[in-house]
Amino acid sequence: MIRIVKIKVIFLATLLLVGWDWGKTPRCSDETVQATVISIAREKMLDMLDKLQEVRATVASPDFVKEFEARWLDGIEHLKLDAIRTRFVDQNTRSCDCAADLFILPDYSVPITYIVEKADNGELYVTVYGL
């Protein structure tokens, strides 16, 4: 619950800094959208790391797990979106369907898709798939 509140605070602060235009359809490459996608990915990766730490004691090679955790934590700090593509824009619903490569490590990325929607009250909703 605290993580969700932190994400909302970071998101709202980003909106204020960027000066979001409340009437326009969000774009896949908008800084606010990218920051939100990265925040969601970071939270998902931290959840996965928590699960990994729970099973560490049951793994035959705990040193391997420890090394993996260190690389994973480094990756969490350096997440980056690349090759951002807009697949579809719907002006009526103020939403767009996006795809990108999420770089976790300099030599490792995963393809993700995300949908960006703007509510009537101006709030931005981002749903990320592929994590």
Average pLDDT of the segment spanning 99-105: 91
- Say if 58 falls within a structural domain: no
Domain assignment present for 52: no
Q: What percent of the chain has pLDDT over 70?
A: 76
% residues pLDDT > 90 (the chain): 37
- At 49, the pLDDT band (50, 70, 90 cuts) reads confident
Q: Which of 75, 84, 11 is nearest to 48 (CA)?
A: 75
- Taking only the tens place, the pLDDT of each residue in 61-100 is 667 677 777 777 777 788 899 999 999 999 888 899 999 9
Nearest to 33 by CA among 9, 6, 14: 14
Is the per-residue pLDDT at 106 higher than 90? no
56 belongs to a structural domain: no
The β-bridge partners of 112 are 100
pTM for the whole structure: 0.72
Q: 17 or 74, which is more confident? A: 74
- Specify the number of domains making up the chain: 1
Give residue 42's domain range. 2-46+79-129
In a domain, 28, yes or no: yes
Distance of alpha carbon 59 from alpha carbon 68, whole angstroms: 13
